[in-house]
Amino acid sequence: MTPVFEAEQVRRLLQAREEIALFDLREEDAFAQEHPLWAANLPLSRLEAEVLERVPRLEVPVVVYGEHDGVDLAPRALARLRTLGYSQAGALAGGLDGWRSAGGELFRDVNVPSKAFGELVEAVRHTPSSSAQDVRRLLRESPPVVVDVRRYDEYHTMNIPSSVSVPGGELVLRIRELAPDPRTPIVVNCAGRTRSIIGTQSVINAGVPNPVVALRNGTIGWELAGLALDHGSTRRAPAEVTPEHRAAARAGAQEIARRAGVRPLTLGELAGLDDPARTTYRFDVRDEGEYVAGHLPGFRHAPGGQLVQETDHFAPVRGARLVLADDDGVRAAMTASWLAQMGWETYVLTVPGPSLTEVGQAAARRPAAPAVDEVEPAELATWLAGPTPSTATATVVVDIGPSREYVRGHVPGAWFAIRAQLEPVLHGLPRHSRLVITSPTGELARWAVADLTDGAGLRAYALSGGTRAWQASGATLEAGGQRFLTPATDRYRRPYEGTDNAHEAMQAYLDWEFGLIAQLERDGTHFFAPI
């Protein structure tokens, strides 16, 4: 019999700091509208591709909920989870309505635990900040070093004039290269608030002597003040760090990690954490180029700044242990100091270079996709080029990959659909004699074809190797979003991303962030403790 978890039972597990993964099965846009604090988004559409990586221990209580158009998604998810071996997977009693009826607090947006923690840090530590107008005056009068702690692609899209890209996990290691004179002011910005606050407080916590402030409300605040952003900038922090600056960064990072309760770990002690009764996540927090060039076997890549910002994605099992690794004694310690303050049991491992023996990206842990009828790209091209009867389209292609990838490029003539919503919308396709499902690599397409074959009894083919194999074969792609069978709700549009955000949406986002501390107090499951 499938377990059912009452809302109060889930709360007790969270408050006892026992391991639990609470997953919202809806697409990201629906998830972002409302969910419990510790719910992580795992769309049913991508369950097989993500769950083994995100919940590596099969004995963890996995609680799922979510519905679409009145249809409960939990039974389908639980059937698949049981097949994959999750012995304690169950449904949240009453779903989201059950949580609400039990008095559970509901939060908007994404990466809420990290954003709420950032607000608490600012409130407790009184993290210094300056308005956009004040920073603009400072740029004219006494030029500061402005560092943008977002991902590089976010920075490249739009940035504060003169700013330099220094992703948050790299900041303490590299800031002295950019501002070696302790009298030089430092301004830290992100798009909104969280990464600016954490970045600014990181510089302070690590003992950097320069005056430092966060750009209040980030690029949102800059735009709301009527100031112009730059686009396409490519400035980055120096790749090399002097021994003197590295030693100072290491001393500061390790001291704040010690104060936060982070536990140092040697390479010889690592195996001692292999406990079948505990989930232990292992992350290498250096930048991607360093990770690909060589990392410790068994460690996944998670840049330090993004790990703090998106902890719910990287480590959805609340109550798990985290082991962070680097090769410099700075980045892992600094990242770990924040995770420990967020209530995680956190360890730091500084790995000597010769031990970084695994190269490239780590292979994702995924179940083998089912064997289904497949079509090679060359044969599909022949099918699509063949004669079409006047009453029907001989072959129809449906792309179930991310909507953003579909818009960037898809098999010519392909339709877009969200996988979990696929079967009910097939009637909207033109009449056809062949149905082909594709996804970026073809893996999820095989799962979708198996679903259609088992559930609806339909004959369909998966494009072998997916859309990437189609492109690699020399076939062309079509861009644009001309044919949507379902709305593109797989992606929540953040009010701070891109270059065409409405001012009302940006201001509403800031107002929401300001209210997170009160929501934390009402929820009572966080264990955040800024120092």
Q: Is-contact 321 273, C-beta < 8 A?
A: yes
Is the full-model pTM beyond 0.85? yes
Which helix or strand (DSSP H or E) is residue 265 part of? strand 263-265
What tokens were used for 443? 């893996």
- Name the residue with tokens 């920075």: 155
Q: What is the DSSP string of 57-122?
A: -TTS-EEEE-EETTEE-HHHHHHHHHHHT-TTEEEETTHHHHHHHTT---B-SSSHHHHHHHHHHH
CB 296 within 8 A of CB 324: no
Question: In 316-402, which residue ranges form alpha helices assigned H by DSSP?
Answer: 331-341, 377-385
Other beta carbons within 10 Å of 527: 13
pLDDT at 509 over 70: yes
Residue type, 475: A
What does DSSP assign to residue 142? S
Q: In 99-116, which positions are buried (b, 16+ CB within 10 angstroms) versus exposed (e)?
A: beeeebbebbbbbbbbbb
Averaged pLDDT for residues 494-505? 79
* pLDDT in the model for residue 504: 87
3-state secondary structure 203-223: HHHCCCCCCEEEECCHHHHHH
CATH T-level assignment (fold) for domain 260-355: Oxidized Rhodanese; domain 1 (3.40.250)
Residue 403: name the closest of 420, 387, 385, 416 by CA.
Answer: 416
- The helix (H) or strand (E) run that includes residue 261 is none
Q: CATH code for 374-472?
A: 3.40.250.10
pLDDT digit string (tens) for 75-124? 999 999 999 999 999 999 999 999 999 999 999 999 999 999 999 999 99
- The CATH number of the domain covering residues in 116-237: 3.40.250.10
Q: For strands 71-72 and 67-68, give the pairing.
A: antiparallel
Q: How far apart are CA 425 and CA 504, in angstroms?
A: 34
- Which residues of the chain form CATH 3.40.250.10? 4-110, 116-237, 260-355, 374-472
Maximum CA extent, the chain: 76
- The token pair at 406 is 């579909």
Q: Strand runs (DSSP E) across 415-488, as ranges? A: 415-416, 432-438, 461-463
Query: Which top CATH class is 4-110?
Result: alpha beta
CA 45 to CA 439: how far, in whole Å? 11
Residues 520, 116: Cα–Cα separation, whole Å: 7
What's the pLDDT tens digit per position in 250-289? 999 999 999 999 999 999 999 999 999 999 999 999 999 9
In the numeric block, the tokens 């409300």 are attached to: 217
CA dist., res. 450 & res. 459, Å (int): 10
% of the chain residues with pLDDT over 70:
98
DSSP string, 418-432: -GGGHHHHGGGSPPE
**What is the average pLDDT across 441-446?**
97
Pull the structure tokens for residue 323: 């082991």
Q: Dump pLDDT digits (tens) for 17-33.
A: 999 999 999 999 999 99
User: Which pair of tokens denotes residue 481?
Assistant: 């979003």
Q: How many whole angstroms separate alpha carbon 265 and alpha carbon 406?
A: 44
Task: Identify which of 130, 251, 245, 233 has the alpha carbon closest to the alpha carbon of residue 178.
Answer: 245
Residue 398 has pLDDT above 70, yes or no: yes
Q: Residue 398 is which amino acid?
A: V
350-368 pLDDT tens trace: 888 889 999 999 988 999 9
303 near 287, Cβ under 8 Å? yes
